[in-house]
Structure 1
């Protein structure tokens, strides 16, 4: 096994930011709307805003899930809840730990532009002529305009449930429902992938475009792979820089090429090609 080729990285001189204590070079007219929450000239105070108005500037309530059915709040022997897709600010519901982990993974795949949860029900007829209905756990919409219908099931239950045959029948009888019909188990939804997805989810929820631009200026000079610590060597804030790297991984700009969970010692590189549907 050959060792990964490490990059020689050029570090651009970061832009100088004025501190809040320095006066602006030019005064801003209070009527131009440039900063409605800035101190008014001559007053030294802030414009009075209600707590709701201040909160709206930094947070907006997520939209409700569009699921065809919502899992019951309580169910013996199952795990149910929801997360918020950081890209669409829409709720995604789940009813098992595997579904929860996949709900974190799907929005962070570079090819996925939309995630629909609890989609259906879709009708199909079995080999005995009996009509059935099936609700898919997720449908992933891809950047190329195609979609993948996903059924989530523990590996040991796939065979006894006849799920593979169910998806084959739906694919034959309802080809317009999705372009691909797949089963995803713990063999695909691994602990490492789920842990990385939760980390990327956290980074996207606190996304800061200025931090991303600073890291992007460094990664644009990369040739080959480099450790995240090397990329952030001259960063003014290592923690914020790390979150920016995570956002670039989630955006598909960078690829995580080390095995296991993402860490500050992980190797990344500029994404070489579009990822395959997973």
Structure 2
């Protein structure tokens, strides 16, 4: 006779009902509304996300007008000024390169883009308006209004005469009025400015302090490789050297693009645009 098989019963645990939402507290700082980054009294504090620690959204450009998104035969876009975390717009490759260069000049503390329009009257009594590509604000409180144009188009455009009229009629707009062409905005200067911009966007104060301790004992010029040989991290050390160049603490004294073989020295009168 076969023994009867016993049945094993596995009871299913009851499904717990979700707890009702906690009532809003009258003394909560946010009026009882909970959400990311908020906590009720007595709860454990939550750490901010990694994104909140390392990134903040840039401010919008202060441009009086934005370049059209689509245009035939032109180059337009924007970058973020690493000094002010503000967007800078441009309408040509020359403007883009100058947008990189200006924030890295040791005397410049602010860059305004597409500033204007500025009204002026020509020699025939006709009223015109002109929008400057940039206005650079300097640490001494002065400002420079900048018009950007390819060198071969400056003469035919009458731009220099326009700036002369604006300077005479609207002298309070800026302290200086200048034209900048490819003769000023060279490829090497632009390449160096983009490199400095990249370094400033990833600025690390601990790395900068380590390199600064090495450069404080420098006498004369030294190759960047020699400075990095005394640091613990070659790659991050190079970025720190770039930040010190951008801050006006170190001076790049070699010709051409900045590289690890370039010579730098401590600027005799340390100027900073931080």
Query: How big is each residue's C-alpha offset from its partner over 1:178-229, in whole Å with a ceiling of 9 and x where there is no partner?
Result: 0000000000000000000000000000000000000000111111111000
Query: How big is each residue's C-alpha offset from its partner over 1:121-153, in whole Å with a ceiling of 9 and x where there is no partner?
Result: 000000000000000000000011100000000
Q: Are 1:204 and 2:200 counterparts?
A: yes
Choose which of 114, 117, 120 in structure 2 pairs with 1:118.
Answer: 114
Equivalence for 2:148: 152
Runs of 5+ consecutive residues of structure 1 not aligned to the other structure: 1-45
Q: May I ask how many residue pairs the two structures share in their alignment?
A: 228
Choose which of 211, 215, 222 in structure 2 pairs with 1:215.
Answer: 211
Query: How big is each residue's C-alpha offset from its partner over 1:55-108, in whole Å with a ceiling of 9 and x where there is no partner?
Result: 111100101001000000010000000000001000000000000000000000
- Secondary structure, counterpart of 2:167 in structure 1: helix
Q: Are 1:261 and 2:260 counterparts?
A: no
Equivalence for 1:235: 231
Deviation at 1:235, TM superposition (A): 1.2
**Within-5 A mapping of 1:95-134:** 95-134=91-130
Does the 8 Å contact 2:120/2:129 carry over to 1?
A: yes
Q: TM-score normalised to the size of structure 2?
A: 0.81
- Secondary structure, counterpart of 1:67 in structure 2: coil
**Within-5 A mapping of 1:1-278:** 53-273=49-269
C-alpha RMSD over aligned residues: 1.4
Does the 8 Å contact 2:249/2:270 carry over to 1?
A: no
Deviation at 1:272, TM superposition (A): 2.1
Q: Which has the larger radius of gyration?
A: 2
Does the 8 Å contact 1:123/1:132 carry over to 2?
A: yes
Does the 8 Å contact 1:111/1:274 carry over to 2?
A: no
Higher relative contact order structure (alpha carbons within 8 Å, sequence separation ≥ 6) = 1
How far apart in 1 are the matches of 2:102 and 2:50? 32
